[in-house]
Amino acid sequence: METMKTLINGADLLAVGYKETHILGLALKLANNKYENQSKEDVVALFKKVKDYPENFLDDEVLEPLASAMIEETNAPKDEIIALVESPNSYTVYGEQHIEQGAKGQMNIAMKLPVTVAGALMPDAHQGYGLPIGGVLATRNAIIPYGVGVDIGCRMALSVYDITEDYFVENQAKFKRELIAHTKFGAGHGYHGQHKSDHEVLDRDEFNMNKFVKNLHDKAWSQLGTSGGGNHFVEFGIIEFEERDEVLNINKGKYLALLTHSGSRGFGATVAGHYTRLAKDICKLPHEAANLAYLDLNTQEGQEYWIAMNLAGDYASACHEVIHNKMAKAIGAQVLTKVENHHNFAWKEMYNGEEVIVHRKGATPAGKGVMGIIPGSMTAPGFLVRGRGEENSINSASHGAGRQMSRTQAIKNITKNDMREVLKDHNVTLIGAGRDEAPMAYKDINMVMASQTDLVDVVAKFTPKLVRMADDGSRED
């Protein structure tokens, strides 16, 4: 066979099984520098042998570096992609005809995780990141940061006052003034200096558990008692009990009430982001499930997140406590009863005789006798409810009406005049908020409630009257 000077290219070696890695570059360099006077056919055949049997060339003075590199690459630890379950368990969907396909698709993927025990989808469900909003997922000894959500421990809190509807109507200007004075909205916004509040949650040892969490303490202190942005609100409204409730010790009648919705602010959002990145580094899932990366609770990272999540939940509760205490003092009211419930969290609960981790992302606990508040929108009623303990829903219910339009769709399709008209029709005074939070952007709360009569009993109905939200365009933290 005639020998001639020739060049080997990448395609020649790819054709015999090389991959586009640094090994290919090394092989090409050797082939063209050391074997340039041999035929292309012979050189390609030789380099195929090196690829197939690198251990046979460890004593070759020219090819040893290539052979060693191949063996090292073969022995290097690979990122193991965790396989999804091919035949997952089924799950119950409430109000399925009103739920978009995207949310159901996300729930279908979540059910395929190897740690998943059970799931359910609430009637306010819509698409989110990882687990859909309105998704409930029970796992075995694993915690999914994006199954909890970005706003860890977001919650509703209700104070029922000894103030009549008539007194509120006659003194609405006073209530509006106090609502503005004692609330703060906007992503990143906080209090400073003498205006900062104090609470025992800030003294918790968990803030010292690692440098990352410790560095968030100042931000948490500044934002204590603030509400953030997005769909968060503080509002006065009239709550009506159609009959006496013995458990709450409230007589039949109408009362002024304060309802708040917000979470763990920048503290919780930063915790969520940090541990989601950690989970994705540790738990390699197929592309479609990547946002459902989980942490084993037997690992240090899993324990750190669990502790930080619970701290963020307690911090969110403290934020509501500060707001409610300020408001009761400002308006001189006696609080007849308080109810609080949260979503975007994970709980250790028993399910079918085993302990599981129940993630409720935009879903609220509804175990037997558990109280909750399910809001509608700034003009639609909210409902004070008592859970029925339905196992098919994993003791859960919806956390609100749920969006039927994205924020972008709402801004594009709803005019300022549309907003003004619907507020006027419902006799609601609005401070702040943009068209992305317009009532029309949300599902019909009555339809949502009709889809979960097996999950909760309605105790009272709350009608918003004076609503404060973040200014137009302010996102959640």
Q: What is the mean pLDDT of each run of 10 residues along the chain (477 residues)?
A: 67 92 92 90 94 91 92 74 94 95 96 98 93 97 96 97 97 97 89 89 96 96 94 96 97 98 96 96 94 97 98 98 97 97 97 96 97 96 98 97 88 92 95 91 95 98 96 56
* Dihedral class, residue 125 (left if φ above 0, else alpha if ψ from -120 to 50, else beta): beta
Backbone angles phi, psi at 159, to 5 degrees: -115, 125
Q: What is the pLDDT of residue 77?
A: 66
Q: What is the pLDDT of residue 129?
A: 86
Alpha carbons 164 and 88: distance in angstroms, whole number: 53
Measured from the Cβ of residue 262, the count of other Cβ atoms closer than 10 Å reads 30
Q: What is the pLDDT of residue 473?
A: 52
Nearest to 293 by CA among 309, 308, 279, 272: 279
Query: Is the overall model pTM greater than 0.85, yes or no?
Result: no
**HEC assignment per residue over the chain:** CCCCCCCCCHHHHHCCCCCCCHHHHHHHHHHHHHCCCCCHHHHHHHHHHHHHCHHHHCCCCCCHHHHHHHHHHHHCCCCCCCCCCCCCCCCEECCHHHCCHHHHHHHHHHCCCCCEEEEEEEEEEECCCCCCEEEEEEECCEECHHHHCCCCCCEEEEEEECCCHHHHHHCHHHHHHHHHHCCCECCCCCCCHHHCCCCHHHHCHHHHCCHHHHCCHHHHHHHCCCCECCCCEEEEEEEEECCCECCCCECCEEEEEEEEEECCHHHHHHHHHHHHHHHHHHCCCCHHHHHHCCEECCCHHHHHHHHHHHHHHHHHHHHHHHHHHHHHHHHCCCEEEEEEEECCEEEEEEECCEEEEEEEECEEECCCCCEEEECCCCCCCEEEEEECCCHHHCCEEECCCCECCCHHHHHHHCCHHHHHHHHHHCCCEEEEECHHHCHHHECCHHHHHHCCCCCEEEEEEEEEEEEEEEECCCCCC
